[in-house]
Amino acid sequence: MWINMGPQHPMTHGLWNLRVKIEGEIVKEIDPEMGFLHRGIEKISEDRHYNEVITLMDRTCYVAGIAWEHLYIQAAEQALHVTPPARALWIRVLCEEMQRIASHVMWYAAFVQDLGLMSPFLYGMRDRDLLLDHFQSFTGGRLTYEYMRVGGVRNDLPPGTTDRMRKTLDWLMDRFVEYDRLCMGSEIFRKRCDDLGVLKANDCIAYGVTGPMLRSAGVRRDLRKDRPYAIYDQVDFDMAIADSADVTGRYLVRMEEMRQSVRILRQVVDWLDKHPGPVMAPNLPRWLGAPYAPVGREGYLLKRNYPKGVGLSAIEEPHGEANAYVVNEGGEHPYRVKFRSPVYVNLSAAHKYLVGYHVADIPPIMGSVDVCVGEVDR
């Protein structure tokens, strides 16, 4: 019997449809149906100024908006031959790591609620709001920031941000202990999640699965370590690894990643205190400084004279490895923007970790994947 779970279903955490073929209680076959949130971001980007695409990036992955800005901006800078100043790179890493904690806390809130525990949702949302307050203080937005620009970031941090950040980080470290006590200390949680949704390392690699799912299978791959972008080679942190390859493993990896993010953030705020400086690259062409489309002779010269290029970037997004490929063929619009969403690939391997389990196991397994449909459908 085929049943539809979605597009309106408490399991989906977004807008997609999981078609499940069951025999009794056992899942025999699955067929994810995507595209309910396909908004044509890659197509719209072709009509937008390079800086206007950033607006779309926030909405692509709405729980990790600034990480996607970071992804796009790296590729765009490579395609446009722009080098940002050092302080901008550190601020970007600050944003990305804060976003990683916020995204994982949001995941924790939603995932544990799927298992039937109600209070962690309130705890998670409370702690996430503290991080969003910091974002609000220097970007102005809670969810959609539009903070990064080609050549740097929009504005410097307001005075006192680093001190407030340190307080928040101390507070968060204590909360992570609470989270662990609530989940790993609960026998019900362990019985529900152990040996569930197992995806072994060789299947992960064959199906392109990345992020916490891959690291929970014991594979040591983290682009921040393996291919250090921005300033990740200058900070000290460890890769979060588990070897059980199940739901508990993914939970442990994400929890450890949050602690490591706090560790990175402490080093970043120390660096930012000591090194003031510009946050935008000097001598940017006028048309790149702001969303502004030169017309007439200036536009003609711009299209003709500005060097063409191709940009490719890869970052370790909270959900996994994301890639962006930007083609610059002259002019103020990118010729083509192509993204690789980690959740998209993790979902395409869903038959590997869902088939053979019970129907009641689907919510915890899909919860542990951390689905964000915005970036899957784009």
Contacts (CB under 8 A) with other proteins, residues 308-337: 310, 312-314, 321, 323, 325, 327, 335-336
Shortest Å distance, C-beta 125 to other proteins: 3
User: Binder to other proteins among 2, 25, 26, 43 (CB under 8 A)?
Assistant: 43
Query: Which one-letter amino acid corresponds to residue 134?
Result: H
User: Binder to other proteins among 22, 115, 125, 239 (CB under 8 A)?
Assistant: 125
Q: Which is nearer to other proteins, 61 or 255 (CB)?
A: 61
Give the residue carrying structure tokens 């937008």: 48
Are residues 253 and 242 in contact, defined by beta-carbon separation less than 8 angstroms?
yes
Per-residue binder mask for other proteins (CB under 8 A), 148-167, x = binder: --------------------
User: Binder to other proteins among 107, 147, 251, 344 (CB under 8 A)?
Assistant: 344
What span, in angstroms and rounded, lies between the C-alpha atoms of 85 and 101?
25
The interface with other proteins within residues 195-224 (CB under 8 A) comprises 205-210, 219, 221
Q: Determine the size of the site formed for other proteins (CB under 8 A).
A: 81
137 forms part of the interface with other proteins (CB under 8 A): no
Shortest Å distance, C-beta 234 to other proteins: 12
Shortest Å distance, C-beta 93 to other proteins: 11
> How many residues are listed for the chain in this entry?
378
- The 3-class secondary structure across the chain, one letter per residue, is CEEEECCCCCCCCCCCEEEEEEECCEEEEEEEECCCCCCCHHHHHCCCCCCCHHHHHHHHCCCCHHHHHHHHHHHHHHHHCCCCCHHHHHHHHHHHHHHHHHHHHHHHHHHHHHCCCCHHHHHHHHHHHHHHHHHHHHHCCCCCCCCEECCEECCCCCCCHHHHHHHHHHHHHHHHHHHHHHHCCCHHHHHHHCCCCCCCHHHHHHCCCCCHHHHCCCCCCCHHHHCCCCCHHHCCCCCCCCCCCCHHHHHHHHHHHHHHHHHHHHHHHHHHHHCCCCCECCCCCHHHHCCCCCCHHHHHHHHHHCCCEEEEEEEEECCEEEEEEEEECCCCCCCEEEEECHHHHHHHCHHHHHCCCEHHHHHHHHHHHCCCHHHHHC
Backbone phi and psi for residue 292, each to the nearest 5 degrees, phi listed first = -155, 125
User: Binder to other proteins among 68, 123, 145, 357 (CB under 8 A)?
Assistant: 123
The interface with other proteins within residues 63-102 (CB under 8 A) comprises 63, 74, 77-78, 81, 83-84, 89
Shortest Å distance, C-beta 294 to other proteins: 22
47 forms part of the interface with other proteins (CB under 8 A): yes
Shortest Å distance, C-beta 62 to other proteins: 4
User: Binder to other proteins among 19, 21, 37, 192 (CB under 8 A)?
Assistant: 37
Of 9-17, 182-190, 262-270, 294-302, the segment contacting other proteins by CB under 8 A is: 9-17
User: Binder to other proteins among 100, 154, 250, 340 (CB under 8 A)?
Assistant: 340
Q: Which is nearer to other proteins, 39 or 181 (CB)?
A: 39
Shortest Å distance, C-beta 138 to other proteins: 17
Q: Which is nearer to other proteins, 204 or 272 (CB)?
A: 204
User: Binder to other proteins among 2, 28, 29, 38 (CB under 8 A)?
Assistant: 38
Of 30-38, 155-163, 165-173, 288-296, the segment contacting other proteins by CB under 8 A is: 30-38
Residue among 31, 11, 15, 41 nearest 341 (CA):
41
The interface with other proteins within residues 223-282 (CB under 8 A) comprises 226-230, 233
Work out whether the CA dihedral 211, 309, 144, 39 comes out positive or negative: negative
User: Binder to other proteins among 129, 170, 195, 270 (CB under 8 A)?
Assistant: 129
3 forms part of the interface with other proteins (CB under 8 A): no
Shortest Å distance, C-beta 329 to other proteins: 9
